[in-house]
Amino acid sequence: MGWMSGDDNDERGAVRVELPDGTELELSGDANGAEAAAAIGPGLARAALAVKVGDEIRDLSAGLTDGESISLITDRDPEALDLIRHDAAHVMATAVQEIYPGTKVTIGPAIENGFYYDFEFPEGVTVTEADLPAIEDAMRRHIKADEQFVRRDLPVAEAIEIFRKQGEDYKVELIEDLIADEGVETVSLYRNGEFEDLCRGPHGPGTSRIKAIKLNSVAGAYWRGDENRQMLTRIYGTAFFSKGDLEAHLEALEEARARDHRRLGPQLGLFMLREEAPGMPFWLPNGTVLLRLIEEQVKEQLDRRGYEEIATPQVMDESLWHRSGHWDNYVDDMYFMDVDDRRFALRPMNCPGACLVFGSDRHSYRDLPLRLAEFGKVTRNEREGVLHGLLRVRAFTQDDAHVYCTEEQIEDEVRDICEAIDELYSRFGFEDVEVELSTRPEKSMGSDEQWDKAEAMLARALESQGREFRVNPGDGAFYGPKIDFHVTDALGRSWQLGTCQLDFQMPERFDLYYTDADDTRRRPVMIHRALLGSMERFAGILIEHYAGRFPVWLAPVQAKILPVADRNIEFAEGIAADLAERGVRVEVDDRSESVGKKIRDAELGRYPFMLVVGDREQEEGKVAVRSHEEGELGAMDVQEFCMLVGT
């Protein structure tokens, strides 16, 4: 049973579509999504933003075909925000061209948490963040006007002529590429108000569905990401269905800015970034301690789980990378150098070196599984535009390991790796771990049979542990499928950390083998695994997760001793020496500053404890303990304080 639309559908015939609950809805033969919403009810007609047909989202004005399964998108659906953010991008372009006549528009997609548009402004015009409020005001006028989004489909020649007359050469280039790459004969344009743009859609019915907007920032962006092309101006913004949601989002952004590791790192003496080495962090004394503390936790897992450590060269002959498959699948991300008439590569991964170590000796089945771990420094040729503090770098250290085992041992080894990850993440304060199984990418090596087998083995290993996981199609490594582990930080952001990758390819390419019980040569399976991924990236995530206020055991400096006067410095240094002998990481602030300033600076330094020592403390042989989190804790002797720290 379903709702009927119209009186008798006369000569136009009828279409029947299926709703999410299985109900059949009968409509006139030329019906669209808007009419489907109206047939269901006036409330839905007012709320509908788009229609979803199967997995495809279409404009409400798009026609429906008999037998299609549809659902109506409203602001309650997860796809709705992307829809109105795309709408808002077009409204922003409308406002920009209105304020700055002659501006050329390029592309303006919805992205995670917002949208952007890239513009080429007329000569002499520079737009900065100070100009964003005026653009916002113009956007609000267009939103209030409820300008309808109207689509038209044109032959490519006609569309090219339109944009060529407007001087929109970027649009002409896009259409010409669509003809060359996809063989398209028609393209779609969307108009709202006086603005019309090349766009695949879909869009909402009108601009008034956008309830709250905010333009966030201005940045430079090369046309199509090509550093040899025109530098454009990119304006970022966001949009929501309510002012409350927007305010909550802006508060979250402000908190993220306060936690930004690029600001906190130098402030806390952890690391610095320099133009002399883009994407290659300089670790300062406190940061080096932080890395050592992280490494100690990883090494504890290595020791308990039977791993042996190795160290392999960072620079190896180019021929090795042909052999490993990196040349065919990863060469664009590698650095090379010529020495003594030979070409060498800085390693982007550690696995070929581990293969050479395994292949340098004979192994029997009794040696397996052989677990070789390496804190390996790698270098990758990341484009400068994507570098981001410690989170996207060119030089970093992986807590890498390669396990060589038999097929029968895979399940146990994967389980052991998963358990190590659970224990390690919990130690660092990450309890919510999500698992993802990534399958064969488009650019890869090996047969379909090998990939099917490897993917099934990893899935079975996860299922045997009762772990829930989602499949991420096409995101595996070029040599094998992988399990990726994601954690959620204090701001609710998801980060991919550890990985476990199953590889049948490199053992073949390096002709690795072991001798079985019947004295036959057999090929081992290779498991690539990193518990944290990158030490640098993990440190950056930790800085933001804790906002620089590390738990006591992880803090590079656990206590800052603050002498009240210069005459108390010698006593403070004696306390520091005593604490250091007991395993406490401690520093003395021996500046000739007031104790109030020393306390304020120590608060900014986010040390877990401040130990104030004045004449009374010196006389009593104690320290006045102040906790960064809890405030004043009173006077203690050294032994009492050490118990508090946990040493």
Cα–Cα dist 544/113, whole Å: 19
The single residue of 400, 484, 489, 589 carrying the catalytic annotation is: 400
Answer positive or negative: Cα dihedral of 287, 291, 294, 300. Answer: negative
* DSSP 8-state secondary structure symbol assigned to residue 365: G
Cα–Cα dist 157/601, whole Å: 66
Cα–Cα dist 427/529, whole Å: 19
Cα–Cα dist 146/643, whole Å: 66
Question: Residue 514: is it exposed, middle or buried by C-beta count within 10 angstroms (0-12/13-18/19+)?
Answer: buried
Cα–Cα dist 563/565, whole Å: 6
The single residue of 528, 537, 545, 622 carrying the catalytic annotation is: 528
The single residue of 301, 398, 409, 505 carrying the catalytic annotation is: 398
Residue pair 517/366 in contact by the 8 Å Cβ criterion:
no
Residue pair 525/406 in contact by the 8 Å Cβ criterion:
yes
For 44-67, what is the HEC assignment? HHHHCCEEEECCEEECCCCECCCC
Both tokens of residue 314?
């960072």
The single residue of 259, 402, 440, 560 carrying the catalytic annotation is: 402
528 assigned to active site: yes
The single residue of 482, 537, 598, 622 carrying the catalytic annotation is: 482
Cα–Cα dist 464/462, whole Å: 5
The single residue of 380, 529, 537, 545 carrying the catalytic annotation is: 380
351 assigned to active site: yes
Q: Which amino acid is present at 507?
A: P
* DSSP 8-state secondary structure symbol assigned to residue 332: G
Cα–Cα dist 478/448, whole Å: 13
Which residues, 6 or more positions from 530, have their beta carbon under 8 angstroms from its beta carbon?
398, 399, 400, 401, 498, 499
Residue pair 591/602 in contact by the 8 Å Cβ criterion:
no
Answer positive or negative: Cα dihedral of 448, 452, 455, 461. Answer: negative
Both tokens of residue 399?
């807590």
521 assigned to active site: no
615 assigned to active site: no
Give the DSSP per-residue string, 158-169: HHHHHHHHHT-H
262 assigned to active site: no
Cα–Cα dist 486/469, whole Å: 11
* DSSP 8-state secondary structure symbol assigned to residue 460: H
Burial state string for 380-403 with b = 16 or more CB within 10 A and e = fewer than 16 = bebeeeeeebbbbbbbbbbbbbbb
Q: Which amino acid is present at 446?
A: G
Cα–Cα dist 38/43, whole Å: 8
Cα–Cα dist 188/186, whole Å: 7
Residue pair 421/484 in contact by the 8 Å Cβ criterion:
no
Which residues, 6 or more positions from 152, have their beta carbon under 8 angstroms from its beta carbon?
188, 189, 191
Catalytic residues: 351, 380, 398, 400, 402, 482, 528
